[in-house]
Chain A
């Protein structure tokens, strides 16, 4: 899992690693005891089997210890969860509408909107026996014709919905995955702290081209974002042009 470029993606990553190391520790103890037993307590070594069949003390201990470990895990997890859901006071709001099989982005305050679908190079290479080696295509299946552009450091709120079936908008580096559901508008937010291009995919099965609707987010400096938005406004909304 990537550490990502937002505070929350880093927190999520830390949670993941914390639980992972707990699992490793528990695994070492449990599997360790089991392996010792497998080697020591075998009939071929001539051991006589013991005959104990319960011990209330042991059972209370190995019920209580997991409860304590779970409590230790649940507190930071809940804290992160609460922050993830706090989408108040955004700097920018973008409506994301999913279609079979592309994304539509509409910047609420900018009069900018456009479709974003799989780029030409991947479209050419994707059919069965296309004759094009996927390794020769840059970012095969992970590149779009028009990425979502957002400014660095701004709190961006996405309002996600769908026009047809359920889709899901995911960018691992932003630690955001939210279902796009017809009739429902879901909110998520992120504040990217690094500029760069971040890639993800639709993650809810949405029909035959589910594997062919990537998400690409370009995080740019605020000045560059304003300049980009201005050129977009000049060229006018591109809704009809891209259908």
Chain B
């Protein structure tokens, strides 16, 4: 009798037909897919803005755009990449994989899940539409520092509104993930047995809930300063422009870990699989991620060493920032120890993960250099900083997202993607990402400020190299699209897909059926089946 009931249940809850399936879906896999597709589209929109920037900077002198438009390109590029590409991609991966990794049938709050996705296209529709408004798009940098941001034209309230919507979407997504992880694990999935991707997302979701309201508060104060006569940040009315920077970076620094912790989780899944060896120091990885999350709340003012803080404040933020190197180092050492004496193979997900470890570590080194306050005064707001955060975001977060897509794509589609195209995509991306961003270190040290549309002639050579690299990187992403579009053509994938992955997601068929784990799986039985 139970089987009959289960069957009827399945039939009733299969996907709806046509557009209604996507508009009204409450299925974590559908919503995950929509998040991932949305983020890919945003990646290309934000990327083309980056190409506008790099084309203008190809050689000295203004050739293509006006300075105002250049500034709105840098602003929009950052907002779209941070809130539109990287964060939704990780939420999409979380939606798809977390229920399958912990043995849950779906996310805990499926209707809210639908809502939190569908807010995003609206938010970014509004944000992109500001480019057509009087006074142009927002041009004050994604950091939105007042008083400059208050000089934005008609776009200003729309900018604030879209940031609010992004925040609401992230908070709802984060609540959903926390509730799912804490309540819907399979019976013998103890917290410390959870896969690293689930762990890092749990920590990330807490960070999101803690800081997105802070951002919302900051931009609301901007709104009232502009339209309702308050003076939170206006010196003339007794306010303090620096207070905005403190509030913004209290959000902004945890935000950078929001974008990197799930990436740590992804590579902590992939490296053991292709090293055929368990993750080294699982528990210390969890503690390290928690340490990083905690420290992220007490280092915000290292973005502000030049605003004129008291000496004691500067020293505190310098020491606290340097401390982050310790847990981050533990993570890198653990990955290396996982590879040590393994039996490695180099499929595309592994290649992206290895590049992640190398290049993220380079970004970590420049981060350590930036932590040294007196030196930071020289680096601050130069291309050295641009090089640093692009190293941790592009070959950091974005490579991890790509690694994750290659790793789980056969599970999603039921077919192997083209390994040849995947490797081509990997090598092109890795070469061009370095050609683009490595010269920026030299530009910064040579004295080129960031966010300038034109520069003095001594910076010409390195800018030319960086621009060529950026165009190459942009074009190589078309290979990625090709891989995804042809992903259904390859040979059938087995349930386990790879030789040695561990984790509940590999016990379900490929492609994963619309509903998985209607009854909770036996984790230990699954583990033993892998031995």
Contacts and interface: CB of A to CB of B under 8 A. Distances in A.
A11 B373 CA distance: 12
A34 B275 CA distance: 12
B377 A175 contact: yes
Given A16-B369, A50-B277, A170-B449, A182 B308 contact: no
Interface in B277-330: 277-284, 306-308, 311, 314-315, 318-319, 322-323, 325-326, 329-330
A43 to B, nearest CB: 4
Interface residues of A, number: 93
A15 B374 contact: yes
Interface residues of B, number: 89
A58 B369 CA distance: 26
A230 B315 CA distance: 42
A235 interface: no
Contacts, number: 273
B342 A50 contact: yes
A20 B176 CA distance: 43
Interface string A185-202: 011000000000000111
Interface in B103-161: 139-141, 145, 147-148, 151
B513 interface: no
A20 B314 CA distance: 21
A70 interface: yes
A203 B380 contact: yes
A162 to B, nearest CB: 9
B280 A81 contact: no
Contacts of B365: 23, 26-27
A81 B345 contact: no
A53 B281 contact: yes
Contacts of A73: 322, 372
B436 interface: no
Interface of A: 1-2, 8, 11-12, 15-16, 19-20, 22-23, 26-27, 30-31, 33-34, 37-38, 41-44, 47-55, 58-59, 62-63, 66-67, 70, 73-74, 77-78, 80-82, 84-85, 125-130, 132-135, 137, 139-142, 164-166, 168, 170, 172, 175-179, 181-184, 186-187, 200-212
Q: Which 6 A-B residue pairings sit nearest by Cβ, starting from the closest?
A: A183-B235, A211-B452, A186-B308, A23-B365, A50-B341, A49-B276
Interface of B: 60-68, 71, 139-141, 145, 147-148, 151, 235-236, 239-242, 275-284, 306-308, 311, 314-315, 318-319, 322-323, 325-326, 329-330, 332-334, 336-337, 339-346, 354, 357-358, 361-362, 365, 368-369, 372-375, 377-378, 380-382, 445, 447, 449-457, 460
9 contacts: A12-B375, A30-B361, A54-B282, A59-B284, A74-B322, A130-B61, A175-B377, A178-B308, A186-B307
